[in-house]
Structure 1
Amino acid sequence: MYQYVLAIHIIFVVCWMAGLFYMVRLFIYHTEAQDKPEPARTILSDQFQIMERKLWWIIATPSMYFVIAAGVTMLYINPALWKMPWLHIKLLFVVGLIIYHFICQQKMKQMAKGVFKWTSTQLRLWNELATIILFAIVFLVVLKSTINWIFGVIGIILFSLIIMSAVKVYKYLREKK
């Protein structure tokens, strides 16, 4: 039974992450649409709101709840997992991802009201945070040991610096055009 629940957990993690990644991309495009002249701005904004709402309520949020339900079920089936130190750290990252999810939901609601507080560059950096959390969770689950986890953290920090640099280079190249 555990393996079936694990498979469901992994499938919905993929769906949830895809939803989060695409949602923030939509936020970026939605924000950039505000620089367009009318009527393009209104047409694009209306379309992005529809896409964001459907992605959020049909894919991202249900997937998050399935991930949580499957995770809790796995802990119920195999309570020995609670004794694993790596799991406690993983759960901290999962809580961070859930917080990230609800901050995205707040952003979606703000944009629907015409409030755009973050620039497209800030949103690009925000999008990379989910990637970093995903890397941390996967390394923790796969490696499980403290020594490997320390190397994993160092790797995540280096990966974060590379991603942030890539976003800055991309911004520079876009502005250069």
Structure 2
Amino acid sequence: MEYYNSLKALHIIFVVSWFVGLFYIVRLFVYQIEAADKPSPEKEILQKQFKIMAYRLWYIITWPSTILASIFAFWMLLFTPMGNAWLQMPWMHVKLGFVFVLYLYQAKCHQIFKQLQNDDVRYTTNYMRIWNEGATLILFSVVFLVVLKSAINWIYGVVGIIVFTGLLMLGFKFYKRIREKNAPTQEGGENGKENNK
């Protein structure tokens, strides 16, 4: 049991690091896309800095954490009696399905990472902000599955986070409209001050 718990602790540590990497890399994607619209030389300075940050995060934290979390997970499942017992449970099958989706999510992030490292901007910042919620939904689903150990009851928690995410997106759109509405007024005010001078 102590052996199993040691593997479990290591797995949890690297899962946390893995998700930290996934959450932050998409934020860096947003910053890189925004930097592409800046005037020179600000654009080049920001792009260079964000590329370095993304490269280090992706290859020093995210990918190693992915590999180590996976090694310890499969070690627990395949080479311990308790892991073999978990494999018989329906909720574990659903969880492994979400882990597979997480691998696909990371593969897509890797594709976007390589595009941005080559200054190939194909997505908007709004798209990236929505994309960032993918890892959140997977995390909530997996945590509810592991805690409730039910193939059905986790759905309530996930529905809750989807509703919460929807409310956040509505709030973001509302804030964006207010900001865009006030922008011309502020510019007009500055122009008015200049005209008065």
Range of TM-score over shorter length: over 0.9
Specify the alignment match of 2:46 in structure 1: 44
Provide the secondary structure at the position in 2 that maps to 1:83.
Answer: coil
- TM-score normalised according to structure 2 size: 0.84
Specify the alignment match of 2:127 in structure 1: 122
Structure-2 separation of matches of 1:170 and 1:7: 41
For 1:43, give the aligned amino acid.
I
- TM-score normalised according to structure 1 size: 0.93
Q: Where does 1:79-94 land on structure 2 (aligned, <5 Å)?
A: 79-94=84-99
Specify the alignment match of 1:12 in structure 2: 14
Q: Give the 3 Å change call, closer, same or farther, for CA 54–94 of structure 1 in structure 2.
A: same
For 1:171, give the aligned amino acid.
K
The one of 147, 154, 163 aligned to 2:159: 154
Specify the alignment match of 2:28 in structure 1: 26
Q: Give the 3 Å change call, closer, same or farther, for CA 140–112 of structure 1 in structure 2.
A: same
Structure-2 separation of matches of 1:147 and 1:102: 28
Q: Give the 3 Å change call, closer, same or farther, for CA 111–147 of structure 1 in structure 2.
A: closer
1:159 CA displacement? 3.0
Provide the secondary structure at the position in 2 that maps to 1:38.
Answer: coil
The one of 122, 132, 135 aligned to 2:137: 132
Q: Give the 3 Å change call, closer, same or farther, for CA 75–137 of structure 1 in structure 2.
A: same
Asked if the contact 2:34–2:125 (Cα under 8 Å) also holds between the matched residues in 1, the reply is yes
Matched, 1:3 2:5: yes
User: % of aligned pairs identical?
Assistant: 50
For 1:46, give the aligned amino acid.
K
Q: Give the 3 Å change call, closer, same or farther, for CA 24–150 of structure 1 in structure 2.
A: closer
Structure-2 separation of matches of 1:112 and 1:131: 24
Q: Give the 3 Å change call, closer, same or farther, for CA 8–173 of structure 1 in structure 2.
A: farther
Provide the secondary structure at the position in 1 that maps to 2:39.
Answer: coil
Root mean square deviation, CA, Å: 1.6
Specify the alignment match of 2:73 in structure 1: 71
1:67 CA displacement? 1.0
Q: Which protein has greater RCO, CA pairs closer than 8 Å, 6+ apart?
A: 1
1:174 CA displacement? 4.5
> Which segments of 5 or more consecutive residues in structure 2 lack a partner in the other structure?
184-197
Structure-2 separation of matches of 1:170 and 1:58: 35
Q: Give the 3 Å change call, closer, same or farther, for CA 131–166 of structure 1 in structure 2.
A: farther
Asked if the contact 2:145–2:151 (Cα under 8 Å) also holds between the matched residues in 1, the reply is no
Deviating 4+ runs (over 3 angstroms): 169-177
Aligned residue pairs total 177
Which one has a bigger Cα radius of gyration?
A: 2
Structure-2 separation of matches of 1:84 and 1:127: 30
1:74 CA displacement? 1.0
> Which segments of 5 or more consecutive residues in structure 1 lack a partner in the other structure?
none
Asked if the contact 1:19–1:60 (Cα under 8 Å) also holds between the matched residues in 2, the reply is yes
- CA shift digits 1:84-137 (9 cap, x unpaired): 111111111111111111111110110111111110111000011111111111
